[in-house]
Amino acid sequence: MFSSASHPASTIVLPDPGRRPALIVPRIPAMLGVALALLLAVGCGGGDRLESCPRGDRPWRRAVDRASRQGTLEDLERRLEGLAAGHATRWEPQWARGLVALRQRRLEPARAFWRQARELARRQDDAVGIAASSNWLAWTLFQAGELQRAEPLYEEALVAARRAGRRDLEAYALNNLAGLLKATERLAAAGDRLSRAVRLLEATGRPDAAARARFNRATLLYDLGDLRGAEEACREVVEGPVGQVPPSTRASARLVLGSISLAEGHPSEAAEWFEPVLDAEPRLAVRARLGLAEVALLGDDLEAAGALLDRALEEARRESLSVLARKATLLEAEVAASGGHPGRARERLEGLLAAARDSGDVWAEISAGTALARQHRRAGRQTRAIELLEQTVSLFEREGSQLDPTALGLRYLRQRLEPYALLAESLVARAEARGASPPVAEVFRLVEAAHARALRRVLGAAPAGSGLDAILASLPPETAIVNYLVGQEAGVAVVLRRDGARAVVLGGAAGRRAALERYRLALRRPLLSAEARLDPLADFQRDVPAGAALSRWLIAPLAPLLVGARRVLIVPDGELALLPFAALPWPLSGASADGGGYPPFLGQQYEIGRLPLAMVPPPARVVRGPVLLAGNPVDAAGGLPALPRAAEEMRRLAALWSRQGVEPLEGSDLSLGKIAGLDLTRYGIVHFATHAEASSRDPRRTAVLLSGGQRLGLDRIGAWKLDADLVVLSGCRTGDGEVVPGEGVVGLGWAFFRAGARDLVVSLWSVADGAAADEMVLFHQELARGADPVAALARARRAAAGLRPHPAFWAPFVAYLGPEAATCTKRPKN
């Protein structure tokens, strides 16, 4: 979805996940019509004087730009042919012939010309020629799907551009390389290259090219799920001065903003973004029509949707935009089904599926197969739907195994876990329709196949005791595990108790996201709003219905299976990882908005803990020291707010654990150097009382913040050798990070589990300093009395609620029981 001068941005307009199922749009680098690399052309005026065969790329580029504007490319092509013959040792004429061929959309001749130019430049050791030719040659190989051959050419272009001192050529190569890195799932690296490119382009006085690079970075943020960051970047592009932002880039940014509005459930706003793009070049206008068709579908205006799709499909076929033609066909099937013609919808999807299989287009097959399965589900044909979904999941497993989820691979495929939820729900629904018991073992395997791929990769293998039979045999009678898998259209929960397992249909998140966001905001609002702090009870009561709606969705269907349980261990899925289940209103009979006080909460009835994946929960263990207390930072640069209660928290905890040994690191001692000098394997408890930063753009930018602005990031933490029974992160948003379907939150918790932590306590939102300190002291007091982390946190929550009853102050902390790590030498136990 990268901006291009000669191949405009291929923005994929995504449907609204809150209303209709999201369509899976294949993104395959081999498709010539989809420009994933960034091409930045220099546009300058003036005469060319090409007959003297001037050195360097700039005069030739100016000549090509002028001929393109004047419609005289064929005349220039003849001139360049003669100049190439007359200057056979010079690379510039061949390079310019490649530019002309590209403007004429003749990719094969362009590649041949740039290959010749590169060889001539290398013979002359001309760094400018090597940089300019290798960059374009790499781009053509990228378009042909030859990514392994393209990447070293981009790197060659970068080295040559730096040798020549040409920051503009370096920026162009960085942008194009970012497109390749994005296509090969290295999104963090792509973002880094784009950031460098923007700085270079701004420094060289190229605001138009910088705008393209800024837009490309916005598309990365969009793929990473950071809609706020993407929106901010795209608005900056749209609002940029005329003359400094290319029209195609401005139009592409409008398309992304429309997609964001759709994703957030604002179709009218989305239409306002899409409509101005209808007059843009065909590649962009087709996407605008597809977006407006989505808007019409959401408003049940099937006639308007059909007309828009007819026009979009016609233009897509005329322009050979195969990806967009396929998207239009998928939407046409949705229109047909909504209009009471399910047979017509299935016929179109069958054709699309057959074409995808014939062409070997795996992601198109996944997309069409999932859409067709949805139609069969709606028609009550569960068996056929299951067959299609099993095929789709099998394809996904095969293709997904080639991605590196620890390098953000699954993030790029965030919508493609929907088939798992659809299949799991269909298996349960078919069994119930037949009066049979749901195939719990099969559903459990499916849920776990969708869960925690990256964490399993990090740990090197599945944890011991992660099989269903092993878990059931080891569960204490008063413990329940609830394993969620929730997509947009479908959702299930597998409840595990000592006496067996049950699979329950929940339904998907579509239509419930608003309640989730509303309630999460209500839980935090006194920390964000002075008005809410004036009367926190009245403010909270307004949103109790949203919390009750979440409880009816996530808890009520499971309530009969939780009878007799004292402890509930939750394996959250996706955005549920950011929801503090202990703060859900329960029982619902007490969740009235006019009850005169706060409703009863789930955490008052159960000890709520979490598991990163389904496994035998570790036995309740007594946590012991020695204790590493790290906190109370000082920031010489003044960039971090003071934590006045952190010092008090440190003193009280040091006194509490003094008999078992305490190592304090605070103030200027809270540094990377001091931590590096410690034998971390000797501590049974590691407690951080400091700032933290959570990044939804790239989890590897998530970090614990130390004194002097130093950052303790995921890479450093993951390389530690801990032997800690418990790691506590009492700073702000230490449990936040990036939500990935099937993974939960990718953040600090991953790194500490990788380093050897057994259990972990983190926060889901920015915590009030005094409230955090008080709850952490209460928590440690319970630990010192012999409670395990889940029980200790449950008791601390209840005690903290007695001091400050609003959930903002007692609900943010959650306890994870982690898989046993075998990465370090075990320390002697007290």
Q: What DSSP letter does each residue of 658-670 carry, written as one string?
A: GGG-EEEEEGGG-
Residue 758 has pLDDT above 90, yes or no: no
- pLDDT recorded at residue 750: 67
pLDDT of residue 28: 29
For 431-528, where are the E strands, in sequence order? 479-486, 491-497, 500-505
Backbone angles phi, psi at 595, to 5 degrees: -80, 0
Total Cβ atoms within 10 A of residue 285:
19
Highest-pLDDT range among 1-10, 170-179, 184-193, 402-411? 170-179
| pLDDT on residue 530 | 84
**pLDDT confidence of residue 644:** 66
pLDDT at 35: 34
- The more confidently predicted of residues 424 and 488 is 424
Question: What torsion, rounded to 10 degrees, do the Cα atoms 597, 813, 17, 378 define?
Answer: -80
Task: State residue 555's pLDDT score.
Answer: 95
User: Pseudo-torsion of CA 686, 689, 690, 691, nearest 10°?
Assistant: 100
Instruction: Evaluate whether 551 touches 602 at the Cβ level (below 8 Å).
Output: yes
CA distance 345 to 351: 10
Q: State phi, psi for 593 to the nearest 5 degrees.
A: -75, -15
Q: How far apart are CA 268 and CA 278, in angstroms?
A: 16
pLDDT value, residue 826: 45
d(CA 96, CA 78): 12
Task: Provide, for the chain, the percentages of residues in helix, strand and coil under a 3-state DSSP scheme, each rounded to the nearest 5.
Answer: 60, 10, 30
> Residue 383 in 3-state DSSP?
helix
Burial of 639 from C-beta contacts in 10 A (0-12 / 13-18 / 19+): exposed
Residue 307's region, left for phi above 0, alpha for psi from -120 to 50, else beta, is: alpha
- Measured between alpha carbons, how far is 291 from 297 in angstroms, rounded to an integer? 10
Instruction: Determine the Cα–Cα distance for residues 242 and 616; give it in Å rounded to an integer.
Output: 61
pLDDT at 11 exceeding the cut of 60 = no
| Candidate ranges 108-122, 323-337, 514-528; pick with highest mean pLDDT | 108-122
Q: What is the mean pLDDT of the chain?
A: 81
What φ, ψ does residue 265 adopt, rounded to 5°? 80, 35
- The CB density around residue 669, as the number of other CB atoms within 10 Å, is 16
pLDDT digits (tens, 9 = 90+) for 605-642: 999 999 888 888 877 777 787 888 888 777 744 555 66
**Confidence at residue 164, expressed as pLDDT on a 0 to 100 scale:** 95
pLDDT tens digit sequence for 252-287 = 999 999 998 987 778 999 999 999 999 999 989 999
Mean pLDDT along residues 749-776: 79
Q: Residues 725, 827: contact at Cβ < 8 Å?
A: no
pLDDT > 80? residue 89: yes
Buried b (16+ CB within 10 A) or exposed e, 415-446: bbbbbbbbbbbbbbbbbeeeeeebbbeebbeb
- For 175-203, letters b (16+ CB in 10 Å) and e give bbbbbbbbbbbbbbbbbebbbbbbebbbe
Q: Residue 440 contacts by C-beta under 8 Å, 6 or more apart in sequence?
A: 468, 494, 500, 501, 502, 503
Helix 147-164 crosses helix 127-143 at what angle (to 10 degrees)? 160
Tell me if residue 478 falls in helix, strand or coil. Answer: coil
CA-wise closest residue to 789 among 601, 624, 627:
624
pLDDT in tens, 217-231: 888 777 666 677 788
Predicted pLDDT of residue 23: 31
Adjacent-strand bridge partners of 242: 245
pLDDT digits (tens, 9 = 90+) for 41-65: 333 334 458 889 999 999 999 999 8
Q: How confident is the model at residue 544 (pLDDT cuts 50, 70, 90)?
A: very high
Pairing type for strands 567-571 and 479-486 reads parallel
Nearest to 623 by CA among 816, 758, 812: 758
Q: At which residue do the structure tokens 């296509």 appear?
A: 183
Do 305 and 331 contact (CB within 8 A), yes or no?
Answer: yes
Lowest-confidence pick of 283-292, 640-649, 663-672, 708-717: 640-649
Question: 487: which 2 tokens?
Answer: 């997509």
The number of beta carbons lying within 10 Å of the beta carbon of residue 514 is: 13
First-to-last alpha carbon distance for the chain, in angstroms, is: 57
What pTM was computed for the model? 0.72
The tokens for 602 are: 């789930």
Beta strands in 614-655 (DSSP E): 627-631
Distances (CA, A) of 750 to 679, 696, 736: 21, 15, 11
Phi/psi-derived region of residue 599, left when phi > 0, alpha when psi is between -120 and 50, beta in every other case: beta
CB burial class (10 A; 0-12, 13-18, 19+) of residue 331? buried
pLDDT digits (tens, 9 = 90+) for 681-703: 888 888 888 777 665 445 556 77
Write the pLDDT tens digit of every residue in 380-400: 899 999 999 999 888 877 765
Residues 6+ apart with CB under 8 A from 16: 262, 263, 265, 267, 294, 298
Contact 316, 13 (CB under 8 A): no
Q: Residue 189 has which token pair?
A: 């690296």
As a whole number, mean pLDDT of residues 430-449 equals 89
- What is the structure's pLDDT at 101? 93
- Kind and range of the H or E element at 625? none
Q: CB–CB of 368/330 below 8 Å?
A: yes
Spatial neighbors of 492 by CB under 8 A, at least 6 apart, are 421, 424, 425, 428, 443, 447, 484, 485, 486, 503, 504, 505, 506
pLDDT confidence tier of residue 17, bands split at 50, 70 and 90:
very low
Q: Are 31 and 316 in contact (CB under 8 A)?
A: no
What is the predicted pLDDT for the residue at 170?
A: 93
Task: Examine the pLDDT at 163 and tell me if it is beyond 90.
Answer: yes
Other Cβ atoms closer than 10 A to 757: 23
